[in-house]
């Protein structure tokens, strides 16, 4: 009987102290030939284990609160343990009173370079640079946690974003691409700097309102949910007037474009004239999709 109670207590402790992420890591190495593929399989498993088993914050996450996410690497080249890759990072969260999960992030990083020796230890130290791969994984882990928190509470992700900023600052002196202010592609530095800047608070306000005042009430009142989403996008329009074509506006639509079209493509009708104008103004590249909104 005592042993059973011990197991139950141990189980409850494990649940209360679950890590933050429930992550799938995938490596595509089709471009690399004449290399034993085992190193890529080992790396894939180590990345997955690191993201799923590392505790990135001091907060307690229950097992059912873990954030669903995916890291998809395309290995472009491999030579002498040096990897050059692109990385797609996705995350999602459940919608209140629904079986539907909504995309939160869909990030594309084209400047991923790192050195990796098979079976090397991944050491996470928020206040030190241990390897570029660990820094990249840790950076995006904190961004995912911050973005998720922003969808549940106004600016709820600030603490996680501060940790991502610390990781970025520690990595800047490494010489690896992606950590500096300028580059041919938007950098990780650009992303976290904008997320932490008061100038871009409307993006974070949009993320909160879109989910809490839009998606999360749709199960009870679809029309009110649509109006909440439309109002949230109007907040993003205010940002566009100050900073047109911002990285964060593009980040928002990389995750949300198809969902917006689906939401406003059917169901109880609402006046979408202002919404369509706002969408066409903020994200003209998606014009053909906005034309599907009724």
Q: Which pLDDT band, with edges at 50, 70 and 90, does 230 fall under?
A: very high
Instruction: Establish if 237 belongs to a structural domain.
Output: yes
Phi-psi region of 80 (alpha: psi -120 to 50; beta: other; left: phi over 0): left
Instruction: Establish if 54 belongs to a structural domain.
Output: yes
Distance CA 166, CA 195 (A): 13
Q: Does residue 170 share a domain with residue 42?
A: yes
- Read off the pLDDT of residues 238-274 as tens digits, 9 standing for 90 and up: 999 999 999 999 999 999 999 999 999 988 999 999 9
Owner of token pair 């999602």: 92
pTM of the entire structure? 0.93
Instruction: Establish if 2 belongs to a structural domain.
Output: no
Q: Which of 196, 228, 249 is the last residue of a domain?
A: 196
- Residues 91 and 148: beta-carbon distance below 8 Å: yes
Q: Does residue 192 share a domain with residue 215?
A: no
Q: Which of 166, 196, 226 is the last residue of a domain?
A: 196
Tell me the three-class secondary structure of 11-45, residue by residue.
HHHHHHCECCEEEEEEEECCCCCCCCCHHHHHHHH
Average confidence (pLDDT) over 162-177: 96
64 CB burial (10 A radius; 0-12, 13-18, 19+): exposed
Average confidence (pLDDT) over 125-145: 96
Residues of the chain with pLDDT > 90, as a percent, come to: 89
Q: Does residue 36 share a domain with residue 130?
A: yes
Q: Does residue 156 share a domain with residue 84?
A: yes
Quote the number of domains for the chain. Answer: 2
Instruction: Establish if 205 belongs to a structural domain.
Output: no
Instruction: Establish if 191 belongs to a structural domain.
Output: yes
Predicted pLDDT of residue 16: 44
Instruction: Establish if 204 belongs to a structural domain.
Output: no
Helix axes 201-212, 188-196, angle to 10 degrees: 80
Helix boundaries (H) for the chain:
2-16, 38-53, 132-150, 158-171, 188-196, 201-212, 222-242, 247-263, 273-282, 287-290
Q: Does residue 120 share a domain with residue 237?
A: no
Domain that holds residue 76: 13-196
Q: Does residue 272 share a domain with residue 151?
A: no
Predicted pLDDT of residue 184: 79
Instruction: Establish if 183 belongs to a structural domain.
Output: yes
- Read off the pLDDT of residues 19-37 as tens digits, 9 standing for 90 and up: 999 999 999 999 999 899 9
Q: Which two tokens stand for residue 24?
A: 């799938």
Q: Does residue 158 share a domain with residue 37?
A: yes
Instruction: Establish if 114 belongs to a structural domain.
Output: yes
């Amino acid at each position: 009987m005592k042993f059973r109670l011990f197991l139950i207590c141990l189980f409850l402790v494990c649940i209360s102290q679950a890590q933050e992420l429930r992550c799938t890591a995938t490596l595509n190495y089709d471009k690399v030939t004449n290399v034993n593929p085992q190193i890529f399989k080992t790396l894939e498993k180590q990345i997955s284990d690191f993201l799923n088993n590392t505790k990135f914050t001091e907060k307690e996450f229950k097992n059912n609160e873990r954030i669903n996410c995916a890291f998809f690497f395309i290995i472009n080249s491999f030579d002498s343990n040096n990897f050059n890759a692109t990385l797609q990072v996705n995350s999602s969260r459940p919608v209140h009173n629904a079986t539907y999960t909504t995309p939160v992030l869909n990030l594309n990083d084209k400047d991923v370079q790192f050195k990796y020796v098979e079976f090397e230890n991944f050491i996470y130290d928020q206040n030190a640079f241990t390897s570029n791969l660990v820094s990249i994984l840790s950076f995006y882990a904190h961004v995912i946690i911050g973005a998720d928190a922003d969808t549940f509470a106004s600016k709820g992700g600030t603490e996680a974003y501060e940790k991502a900023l610390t990781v970025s600052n520690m990595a800047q002196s490494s010489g690896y691409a992606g950590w500096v202010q300028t580059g041919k592609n938007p950098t990780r530095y650009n992303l976290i700097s904008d997320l932490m800047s008061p100038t871009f608070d409307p993006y974070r306000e949009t993320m909160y309102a879109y989910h809490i005042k839009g998606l999360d009430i749709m199960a009870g009142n679809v029309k009110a949910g649509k109006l909440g989403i439309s109002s949230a996008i109007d907040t993003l329009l205010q940002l566009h007037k100050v900073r047109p074509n911002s990285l964060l506006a593009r980040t928002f639509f990389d995750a949300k474009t198809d969902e917006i079209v689906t939401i406003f493509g059917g169901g109880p009708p609402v006046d979408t004239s202002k919404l369509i104008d706002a969408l066409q103004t903020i994200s003209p590249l998606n014009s053909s999709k906005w034309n599907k909104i009724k």
